[in-house]
Each structure stands twice: as C-alpha cells, then as structure tokens.
Structure 1
Amino acid sequence: MSDPVVIPLSAVASQTVLVPLSSQSIQLDIAQLATGLFMNITLNGTLVMAGVLCQDRTWIVRKSYFGLPGDLVFVDTMGTDDPDYSGLGKRYLLYYQEGQNV
C-alpha cells in the first residue's frame, strides 16, 4: 500500500476538484450545506457516488465496486470535528489511500 495523498482543497463553500488518482480521472464536487459537508465523486466521467456526507476519519467510498482503487477520508488535524468548508485545506485535510477499500 502506498503512502496517502493529500488532495488540495480551498476554504470555500462549494468547489470542484479534478485530480488524477491511481491512473484514474477523478472529479470531486464538495459543497457545504446547513446539515454538513457533502461530496459527489465522478470517476472517468461517470458519477459513481452522490450526496455523501463527509465526516471526520470516516472512509467515503468504502467498496471497490464503485471502481475507485482506493478511498478518501477527511481528517481533522486539530481534533475530531466533522469537516466544515472554512477549514478545508488547513484544519480539515482530504486524503486518498490507494488499496484502502474492500
């Protein structure tokens, strides 16, 4: 298993990030709503997950049948709060770990 990759994010309420992960083209649409931070994941142009609630240290993809050969996780570097857009990229880091999901 390779080292986790930190995905660069900005502290804005809504953003789209295009990032190559494990030789795949990944688009992450991240949006802050009143009920939390949510993510859509598009793999090679196909939406594979929509409206996933982002929580601290909780794997997002979890299953390999979505086609992603790894998983994503937010980590609060100053505690254990769930991520909020205002701390993205500094307090709340998004990691990708290849080979994590089963």
Structure 2
Amino acid sequence: MRNVSIEPEKSQSISVSLGGQRCEIRLIQRTTFLYMDLTSNGVPLIQGVPCLYGNKMVGYKHLGFLGDLVFIDNVGQRDPEWSGLGTRFSLYYIEESDLV
C-alpha cells in the first residue's frame, strides 16, 4: 500500500505513477461529497465518483486499472472532505497483489 500525496485544497490535480501506470487524479469538493476523476495512461477510467471512507474508488477490474485507490480516515470513519486532506484523510494506492 502506498500513500498518495494530497493537499488540503477544494480542487486539485495530481500526476503520479502507480503500479507502472501514468495517473492523473482530480479531486473536487462539492457541497455533497469530495469527488474523484481518474485517468490512467491517457484513458479516463472514472469520473465524478464520490469519495467514501474505506471504499475502493475504481472497484472494477474490467476498467483495466492495476490496483485500486482508497481513502482512510486517520481519526474515525468519516468520508473525506477537503480541509482534512493529507492529514486526517489519506489517499492510498493498493497494489494489485494486495487486493482480495
């Protein structure tokens, strides 16, 4: 499991290599939830998916993403929100070999 560096900002884009994949992660806070878009190797995989505590963000192998992403609350079990990103709320990349 690898920690993906995120900042406490309402909107951000992160370019990172995960499991040999060139990834663009976009996070944006709306009134209801924090949402994620994920592009891997230039192919959009997910768009506008709500970020929920402990929930696999990609979730489907047929999308072709190796591994998955998950938000963890380091204090409790709340869904992530922008002001706690990088401190209270961490984003982790789970290697393909670690998925069950």
Report if TM-score (shorter chain) is over 0.5: yes
Q: Whole-Å Cα distance in 1 between the matches of residues 99 and 63 of structure 2?
A: 10
- What 5-or-longer segments of structure 2 have no aligned partner? none
TM superposition shift of 1:101: 5.4
Match of 1:25 in 2: 22
Q: When the two structures are aligned, how many residues end up with a matched partner?
A: 99
- What 5-or-longer segments of structure 1 have no aligned partner? none
Root-mean-square deviation (CA), in Å?
1.1
Percent identity between the two aligned chains = 36
4+ residue runs over 4 A deviation: none
Q: Whole-Å Cα distance in 2 between the matches of residues 28 and 67 of structure 1?
A: 16
Per-residue CA deviation, residues 74-100 of structure 1 (Å, 9 max, x unaligned), is 000000010000000000000000115
TM superposition shift of 1:26: 0.5
TM-score normalised to structure 1 length: 0.93
Match of 2:36 in 1: 39
What letter corresponds to residue 49 of structure 1 in structure 2? Answer: I
TM-score normalised to structure 2 length: 0.95
